[in-house]
A = this chain, B = another copy of it.
Amino acid sequence: MNDLTIRLTDTEGKCLYQQIYEHIRNEIRQGKLLAGEKLPSTRSLAEYLQVARSTVDFAYGQLTAEGYLEAKPCRGYFVSQVEDLFHLPEDKQGASASYEDAGFLGASFTENVSGTHLTSQRKETVQYDFSPHAISLKDFPYATWKKITKSILVDANSEMFALGDAQGDLGLRETIGRYLHSSRGVNCQPEQIIIGAGTDYLFMLLEKILGRHVPIAMEVPTYKRAYQVFQSFAYKIEAVPMDAYGMDIEKLRKSDARVAYIMPSHQYPTGVVMPIGRRMELLKWAREKEDRYLIEDDYDSEFRYKGKPIPSLQASDRDGRVIYMGTFSKSIAPAIRVGFMVLPLNLLKVYKENCGFYASTVSRIDQRILNEFIKDGYFERYLNKMRKTYRERHDFLLGKLGFFEKEFMISGENAGLHILLSSKSHIPERELLETALKNGIRLYGISDACMGKERNADTFFSSTVLLGYGALDKQELEAGIEALKKAWSLYL
């Protein structure tokens, strides 16, 4: 029997059981107690240490449960054979030490990828940020949201804390279905709708449905985040040029694509609205082969300032070829983390087989709040208000841009939350962004929304910048544009 010397103290704030447990564990870890050695009986150790026998029992029990000791009936406790214990330097805080070595601290990766802005080494002070992704949250009906939340929590019962339907609660799916039908002409049953925590997650589900290594057509330029996501799926991305009506159908036909990703209501970043003719051509292309599909990303169709909203592509689809995707990130708030996808029936079947077991990613309480917000008419009222707000900003900004028209072509107006300025004398995007940034104005380029060799093929894409106005009020827009006039005075 090994001589076990345990110094028990009252000062370290550790209970006696803990001290005994840790001491023996450390002795084993450090190789001072060897495999097969017998430990003192609980009775004798308790007497020796002048503690209750149950304290020692408890420590031995824990060590046995963790596998350091082995209890042999009628014979007592023995040290277990533990592989490689000598590799465990007890006090080295391995993880935290090597963490700092790896140089991750302070690196803010997410910030770099969330927008497509110029990454400048110099730290410039940005006074006016024309982000095309930002929205106005000042007018969000916080009080209403709080009121609904409160009323839902009052009724909250255990059922609402249980796991809900994998596709999302039926009530919310019915509400979204009705909304999509009336506002976007989408034809679907609630059973075809899948609610998920954001578009990226829904894309991940879609990967499981469409399969791997899918050859997917994307417009040049396109929405960068979707491009990144599809790339991370090892999809084979077919870069298809755009004309004034959207994706070039002839070039699409020449590609190997079996799926096409498009934003027919308002293409990002060009702002092109796809006319019905091109839509029909795309639907025809999809119909020609068994497994061709169109992914319609309807990310900001709510905001159209001329005429009524353009109906969705899905509304014209009679053959189950359109996967319709929407989100409340723009129309309510990004932090809501609720998006939805409408699957055609044949893909719904695949979803149920391949991913029906994935648990829902949105909490039921959040689903209920959102459902009430839409059903009770608050959503529509808020949309109307924001449409008005954004239209005013849009009109105000356009009105201020006359000064730039000599050098810049203005496009992408009438919808969404940004417009485009394209230099007629082909001033490079980088120069435009940098001269603005030096004067405290952050603009956004589109060259990184272009893929591969298409990137510099067209001077339009290499000398165009985006001005987002979603998060800027009139005063800020006015001041920002004045500053831009100064910054670009040499061009104008």
Contacts and interface: CB of A to CB of B under 8 A. Distances in A.
A160 B307 contact: no
Which residue, A188, A192, A212, A361, has most C-beta atoms of chain B within 10 A? A361
Nearest to A415: B65
Contact of A83 (B277, B320, B336): B277
B92 A318 contact: yes
Query: How many chain copies does the complex carry?
Result: 2
A66 B311 contact: yes
A61 to B, nearest CB: 5
A274 B102 CA distance: 31
Interface of A: 58, 61-62, 65-68, 80-85, 87-89, 92-96, 98-99, 102, 104-105, 107, 109-110, 113-114, 137-138, 140, 142, 145-146, 149-150, 153-154, 156, 158, 160-167, 187-189, 191-192, 197-201, 204, 208, 212, 225, 228-229, 232, 234, 245, 273-281, 283-284, 306-308, 310-311, 316, 318-320, 329, 333-337, 344-345, 348-349, 352, 354-366
A162 B330 CA distance: 10
11 contacts: A68-B275, A95-B192, A95-B320, A102-B348, A110-B165, A146-B153, A197-B337, A225-B357, A229-B358, A232-B354, A363-B363
Contact of A310 (B66, B107, B191): B66
Contact of A104 (B109, B278, B345, B366): B345
A86 B152 CA distance: 49
A348 B362 CA distance: 25
A94 B149 contact: no
B114 A163 contact: yes
Contact of A189 (B80, B96, B280): B96
Given A94-B187, A94-B318, A359-B200, A140 B158 contact: yes
B336 A363 contact: yes
Contact of A197 (B66, B278, B362): B362
Given A275-B66, A307-B65, A361 B349 contact: no
Given A84-B280, A89-B318, A356 B187 contact: no
A334 B161 contact: yes
Given A98-B345, A163-B329, A276 B66 contact: yes
A137 B161 CA distance: 8
Contacts of A67: 245, 274-279
B284 A84 contact: yes
Given A95-B320, A110-B166, A361 B361 contact: yes
Contact of A95 (B81, B161, B188, B279): B188
Contacts of A163: 114, 329, 334-335
A166 B281 CA distance: 38
Q: A80, A153, A274, A355: which has the most chain B beta carbons within 10 Å?
A: A153
The 10 lowest CB-CB distance pairs between A and B, nearest first, are A67-B275, A137-B158, A197-B361, A161-B333, A67-B276, A163-B334, A95-B187, A62-B307, A83-B280, A146-B153
Nearest to A203: B358
Nearest to A140: B161
A97 to B, nearest CB: 10
Contacts of A316: 88
